[in-house]
Amino acid sequence: MTEVNKPKETSWQRNLFVLWFGTFMAGIGFSEILPFLSLYVDSMGHFSHNQLSLYSGLAFSATYLVSAIASPFWGRLADRTGRKLMLLRSSIGMAIVFVLMGLVTNVWQLIVLRLIQGIFSGYVSNANALIATQVPKEKSGKALGTLVTGNVSGTLLGPLLGGTLASFFSYRLTCIITGVIYVLVFAITVIFVHENFAPVEKEAMLSTRGVIKALISPQLVFGMFITTLLIQAANNSISPILALYVRQIMHGSPQTTFYSGIVAAIPGVATLIAAPRLGALGDRIGTERILIIGFTLAIIVYIPMAFVTNVWQLIGLRFLIGISNASMLPAVQTILAKNTPPEVTGRIFSWNQSFQNMGSVVGPMLGSIVSSIFNYSAVFISTSVVVVINLIMVYNETRTLRKQHRN
């Protein structure tokens, strides 16, 4: 497979702008039902506490589990048919699923639709893959760092928008409005995203072994997959206990809910500010150095989080974690982009998405288990241990890259 008529710089810049908006809207759509998902489940029957916890957990995790399984298939198809087609497949599929979520009559229908949602995920990973194949390698750090802010911004705004819509209308109507948002994403992708792509016959597609052989450094790429899983696991390990931890350090204050929202959102604000700047800095001094700095900062910040005495200390440390996050996942994607041939980029990014989704499942499980055995503070200590392991791995995996930049 070959990319034909390589786009001019203005073409990839236009695609970056459009896909930033697309990932922004997709981030809103994906996250705006999460604040009331368990409440929506509760509205569908008279459940015991254990039943509600089980059904809510299934509804939350189903999407990530299926997406982890489905992503490699879509990645292979993207390398054969183009990334734009996968963007369209994802956006219209999500639109249909969310509209149907607003029409369900029992919790099992909702869980099945959340499973199907996982099948249609992949807008963000394919947007990353499309930009990675079009942008000049020396600018990929800044471009991918900018693109990630779209999804982060949408994910930040989504819960606020979803909570507001649900309070004014209903859970059902909010799901339908989310479907309309994805219709808008589909429309702007159809009209404004341009990809010069030469379709490849199925017989000419590389096998999995062929993809690995095509890689410049397979060990580095697969190391980045594990790194992605551990980053996502660390980021999500504290999700199940964050509001409970805020309530604990605020001694059950009535303002717990308000401050929990700030604590949850503040890392995204920091990531939004820092990601493009760190991406551009990585293009100059080496993306692998930015990644190592990010891990080091995360270790320094996670440990004192276990010992905070008031919510403002936690907010400040969470802001620093946002800066750390801005240097991690975008840096991994940039390293993948710079070390992956264009003809297999779709599959490599989809495999990376699978590992990211697995991290989204493993992380909350880790946090829940640790907090149940020990306490909330222990979750931050265990998370810092995960980051230390990741730092050691990345430091060893990127030795060659660091030597290249020194030379």
Q: Give 240's pLDDT tier (boundaries 50, 70, 90).
A: low
**Residue-wise pLDDT tens digits, 243-255:** 778 888 998 888 8
**Residue-wise pLDDT tens digits, 284-320:** 888 888 999 999 999 999 999 999 999 999 999 999 9
Residue matched to tokens 């990353």: 128
Tell me the HSE value of 258 on the side-chain side, using a 13 A CA sphere: 5
Mean pLDDT of 106-120: 91
pLDDT of 8 higher than 50 = no
pLDDT of 162 higher than 70 = yes
Interaxial angle between packed helices 123-134 and 329-338, expressed in degrees from 0 to 180 and rounded to the nearest 10: 50
Residue-range domains of the chain with CATH: 1-205 (1.20.1250.20), 207-407 (1.20.1250.20)
Choice between 276 and 313, residue whose per-residue pLDDT is larger = 313
pLDDT at 282: 85
Choice between 218 and 260, residue whose per-residue pLDDT is larger = 218
Q: Which two tokens stand for residue 379?
A: 């979750």
Measured between alpha carbons, how far is 396 from 393 in angstroms, rounded to an integer?
A: 5
pLDDT of 405 higher than 70 = no
Q: Which two tokens stand for residue 348?
A: 């490599």
